[in-house]
Structure 1
Amino acid sequence: LPEGDGERPLSLASTLSSGSSRDSRSLFGSTAALPSSATPPEQSEDDIDLELSPAEPEPAPDHHRNGDGKARFPASPVVARAMAPDPKLTYLDRVVMEIIETERMYVKDRSIVEDYLAHIIDMSNLPIQPEQVCGLFGNIEDIYEFNSELLQSLDMCESDPVAIARCFVDKREYFDIYTQYCTNYPNSVAALTDCMGSKTLATFFQDRQAALKRSLPLGSYLLKPVQRILKYHLLLQEIAKHFDSDEEGYEVIQEAINTMTGVAWYINDMKRKHEHAVRVQEIQSLLINWKGPDLTTYGELVLEGTFHVLRAKNTRTLFLFERMLLI
């Protein structure tokens, strides 16, 4: 939270969520250690499309914080320079500016989600249960806190690409909070769909969107953490492409790329395993008079599909596990 805000009472989401920004636990009950390095995939020769011309900033919304003042996001010198670009800036300078500026806008977007959450907590008459709040927002408060700190660190780098890269290396362990958020994201979508089925809640979300003067609905803001965590390594790759490999600090940039690529791979792998585990439980619940062991003992679900069997009238559904074929 920005400095100067009073101590905020523990919210429903943070009370019922198992994650925290400093002692994150995975959905499997143990601390997940992110890989410190990984071999990055072969890079494309084409640069990614950087949004180097920043859009006109929107006025900051009022963020309800139980009587506290507005959350403000003062423009840094980096953003000020981006708004009036210097023709002498190199492409590398612009990549660094892009990382910082988009991080600032991303943190601002997280504060918008915090506004929705704060109003839901304050309005006790809304027809929404605590477990729905947890499913909808996940550990978004942890992400807001962490990325606010990351933004402060990036601002202190004074546009030094090596210092920018070192920020990601130094904070690698804290990105684990994104594993929990991304794994929960399908639940978030389902919870929002359920909420929009309630006329009262649908009206509440529409009213908050209008009050915040935002064209995007809540669902778009809930997706952004999933998109952002998978973009960091691409931005860092742009730094490496335009940084002299013989210059001091290049190895730090490569370490940052490996770190954030490892984070992206780890998140995708954990999300896939979680989805498969949920699917196995669904299959187990559909089996009638099953006398065998729990399906989880046969390893991960590899493939499933419906097939026509020769000389059989009906189709058969096959589930291929690591150690069993279930028909």
Structure 2
Amino acid sequence: MEDWRHCTMWLISCNVLPANHRVTADTAQVFDLAQTLRDGVLLCQLLNNLRPHTINLKEINLRPQMSQFLCLKNIRTFLTSCFEVFGMKKKDLFECFDLFDVRNFGKQAEVDVRSCCLSEIKQTEEKYTETLESIEKYFLNPLRKFFSAAEIDKVFVNIPELVKVHKSLMVDVQDSILNKNALNLYQIFISYKERLLIYGMYCSQVEIAIAVLDLICKEKEDVRVKLEECSKRANNGKFTLRDLLVVPMQRVLKYHLLLQELVKHTHDAADKSNLKIALDAMKDLAQFVNEVKRDNETLREIDQYQRSIENLNQPLISYGRPKGDGEWCYGFYVTHQQGHAGFEFFFKTRELKKKWLDQFEMAISNIRPEKANHNTHHFMMHTFERITSCSCCHLLLRGIFNQGYLCLKCGLGAHKECLGRLDICGKTDSAKPKLKENTPPPDPGLPRMVVIRDYAGVPCPQCGPPLSIHAGDVIELMFADLHSSWWQGKILATSKIGFFPSPMERYQAEVELLDRENGTYLVRHRRKECTEYAISIKFNDKVKHIKILTKDGCFYIAEGRLFRTVLDLVEYYKQHSLKEGFRSLDTTLQVPYRELSNGNVPKAITRSGSVPLGGCSFVPPSSSPFWLVGVAVARHDFCSRDTRELSLLQGDTIRIYTKMSNGWWKGEIDGRMGWFPSTYVEEEE
């Protein structure tokens, strides 16, 4: 499509032109569009549609009747608003007579994308610094007469320090981009990383600042009036102080995105490598700010718990981060082997009991990490009062309490995952024996699962011997492919090894069936209820799902026809249409999902209670949907702090399924699933 027709479609989408305007006709030409815009009226209306009240319609002539004076006046009003309101550069705008005389009506020359990235970094930094200065000039200083010193500190946090840092940063960024071709831009961001750490304090207190501001406005009428007056002086009343207070948090979390785009469009190898270092620094900064904010929220939550429990003398903060739960239904006792006081625990389900036992195991690992005494160090979990970087990987120790580990001998700080990579302790206790050099590293352990339903070996896997399992068994995974129907594992109690059905749910069933022929079906456990079944079938090129209901120990999809087993139900609907229960589903169960391509059905079709067999294509449920959004390689080791996190080793390939804006991603490595910080990996393109 020609450029001018793209322009026409955009004007229609902006409600400037009607959909049936003559410029949309097949016979229309670019001259017709020029004639339509020539008097400037529609252009002025366009700006008002994009941003209401940009132009006062009383200032333009709505019926210029092609008067040169009136048309040029309208066009100049449009161009002036583009420059003053929308921040467009004059060199990017056309001349008044170009439009009126219908000349030079072509597209503006394209600008180098990298130059646009640099321009955006410079312009947004200038605009942001201007915003910070306006907060200080038009709000903070005038309000000192109305607010107490404590209220000023609570509402404006450390705005003056931010102003000072960004005035300096803006000058350096301008000098780099305008005078040095941005060759030292990466050094600027690296050097300012330490100074920008003050955002941890601001972002963790901005919600309290807004709450305090709202309370003051509610209680003091004179303050509310003064704030409105300040807002009018600052920006003609477009943005209130409440609006402006959230801008710093948005800005600090955008630096790595701006640099990421610049890296993408930088082709010089040396420049790209340098900018990646700066990008890592800004990612680390964003991660640090998010963790500090989260830790402050956690401290406030712990404080609420502390004040809600009567006669509680111990500080709850000493127990670490809270792991909240809901209503409890199950309970058990944990007694001390030497007869000391025991504990009583309550849980909603048996599965949660297992999860909490895993959490206890993880907590013990955090308190006494495996590599705590590596190379004669003596590391203990520690709360660092000052912002500290890891002595091994040099990334920040994130958060504000229990951020990492401190060697009580030499004073080094480190992440848990870095403990085993540090050199020999600088202050070694000679009385202690040295570690043997060739001692093999301990087995880190494979991921484990708890069985929630029996599998007796049917249907039989084609890839190896079946593993008979029973509810409550603990399986150590040995091989787990998310797209495979069978996983390999070992029962810890008996050391038996074999294959068992992999998890599958509604979404994965759709993915598996979409590439199959119509009539292909499978029977699966429902995700929410492990004792209930569902049929997934491809019909008319779409995947449909049918819940199998139960009544008096029988199974059915239409109330008038009950079956003793799921197998009987499937066998019946192989011969009879499903429209008995669903009018729009006029098909039979034709091709089992696990039927081989040559039409043969796998062997070992035997009966085991009500469990469907080979011809039924039984597939169990999954714990979560799998939607691959990317692949990354671990650049640093990362040791999980609880069972929700995913430990990484340098060089690991991670399949990414979820990306959160706070810098945490969810992914999978060899069947292990969990959350990890994005700053520890590099995503492959």
| Corresponding position of 1:306 | 326
> Among residues 150, 164, 169, which one is paired with 2:169 in the alignment?
150
**Shift in Å at residue 225 of structure 1?**
0.4
Show structure 1 runs of 5+ residues with no match.
Answer: 1-53, 59-78
Distance 1:120 1:205 in 2: 8
Match for 1:166: what amino acid? Answer: Q
Q: 1:135 to 1:56 in 2, by over 3 A?
A: farther
8 A Cα contact 2:154 2:209, kept in partner: yes
**Shift in Å at residue 217 of structure 1?**
0.7
The 3-state SS of whatever aligns with 1:304 is coil
Distance 1:165 1:100 in 2: 13
| Corresponding position of 2:91 | 84
The 3-state SS of whatever aligns with 2:194 is helix
8 A Cα contact 2:186 2:275, kept in partner: yes
The answer as to 2:286 corresponding to 1:277 is no
**Shift in Å at residue 57 of structure 1?**
4.3
**Which of the two has greater helix per residue?**
1
> Among residues 114, 117, 128, which one is paired with 2:136 in the alignment?
114
**Shift in Å at residue 228 of structure 1?**
0.2
**Shift in Å at residue 199 of structure 1?**
1.2
Q: How does 1:58-69 map onto structure 2 within 5 Å?
A: none
> Among residues 219, 224, 235, which one is paired with 2:242 in the alignment?
219
| Corresponding position of 2:187 | 166
8 A Cα contact 1:162 1:253, kept in partner: no
| Corresponding position of 1:69 | none
Kindly provide the CA deviation profile for residues 156-188 of structure 1, in whole angstroms up to 9, marking residues without a partner as x.
Answer: 013534322221012211111111111111221
**Shift in Å at residue 83 of structure 1?**
4.7
**Shift in Å at residue 106 of structure 1?**
0.5
The 3-state SS of whatever aligns with 2:324 is strand
8 A Cα contact 1:162 1:252, kept in partner: no
**Shift in Å at residue 88 of structure 1?**
5.0
Distance 1:99 1:214 in 2: 27
Distance 1:196 1:120 in 2: 12
> Among residues 243, 246, 259, which one is paired with 2:266 in the alignment?
243
> Among residues 223, 238, 242, which one is paired with 1:201 in the alignment?
223
**Shift in Å at residue 269 of structure 1?**
0.6
**Shift in Å at residue 130 of structure 1?**
1.5
Distance 2:306 2:82 in 1: 51
Higher relative contact order, structure no. (Cα contacts within 8 Å, ≥ 6 residues apart): 1
Kindly provide the CA deviation profile for residues 67-87 of structure 1, in whole angstroms up to 9, marking residues without a partner as x.
Answer: xxxxxxxxxxxx99x552483
Distance 1:307 1:83 in 2: 64
Q: Percent identity?
A: 20
Match for 1:94: what amino acid? Answer: C
The structure with the larger Rg is 2
The answer as to 2:221 corresponding to 1:232 is no
Kindly provide the CA deviation profile for residues 280-304 of structure 1, in whole angstroms up to 9, marking residues without a partner as x.
Answer: 111111111225x321121111x32
> Among residues 102, 105, 111, which one is paired with 2:127 in the alignment?
105
The answer as to 2:137 corresponding to 1:137 is no
8 A Cα contact 1:95 1:238, kept in partner: yes
Kindly provide the CA deviation profile for residues 202-249 of structure 1, in whole angstroms up to 9, marking residues without a partner as x.
Answer: 1110111122324011111111100000000000000111111x5322
Match for 1:229: what amino acid? Answer: V
8 A Cα contact 2:201 2:292, kept in partner: no
**Shift in Å at residue 192 of structure 1?**
1.2
Distance 2:248 2:84 in 1: 20
**Shift in Å at residue 252 of structure 1?**
1.3
Distance 2:226 2:275 in 1: 45
Match for 2:308: what amino acid? Answer: L
Show structure 2 runs of 5+ residues with no match.
Answer: 1-80, 93-107, 332-345, 349-355, 365-685
The answer as to 2:261 corresponding to 1:262 is no
Kindly provide the CA deviation profile for residues 32-58 of structure 1, in whole angstroms up to 9, marking residues without a partner as x.
Answer: xxxxxxxxxxxxxxxxxxxxxx96446
Match for 2:276: what amino acid? Answer: Q
Distance 2:320 2:90 in 1: 54
**Shift in Å at residue 308 of structure 1?**
5.4
Q: 1:109 to 1:202 in 2, by over 3 A?
A: same
Kindly provide the CA deviation profile for residues 87-109 of structure 1, in whole angstroms up to 9, marking residues without a partner as x.
Answer: 35201101100110011111111
The 3-state SS of whatever aligns with 1:290 is coil
8 A Cα contact 1:165 1:236, kept in partner: no
Distance 1:134 1:161 in 2: 37
| Corresponding position of 1:68 | none
| Corresponding position of 2:275 | 253
Distance 2:245 2:330 in 1: 47
> Among residues 205, 216, 220, which one is paired with 1:184 in the alignment?
205
Deviates more, 1:235-244 or 1:176-185: 176-185
Distance 1:187 1:167 in 2: 32
Q: 1:172 to 1:295 in 2, by over 3 A?
A: same
8 A Cα contact 2:157 2:202, kept in partner: yes
8 A Cα contact 2:118 2:177, kept in partner: no
Q: How does 1:15-26 map onto structure 2 within 5 Å?
A: none
| Corresponding position of 2:309 | 287
8 A Cα contact 2:228 2:237, kept in partner: no
The 3-state SS of whatever aligns with 1:143 is helix
Q: 1:164 to 1:179 in 2, by over 3 A?
A: same
8 A Cα contact 1:162 1:250, kept in partner: no
Q: Scaled by the length of structure 2, what TM-score is found?
A: 0.33
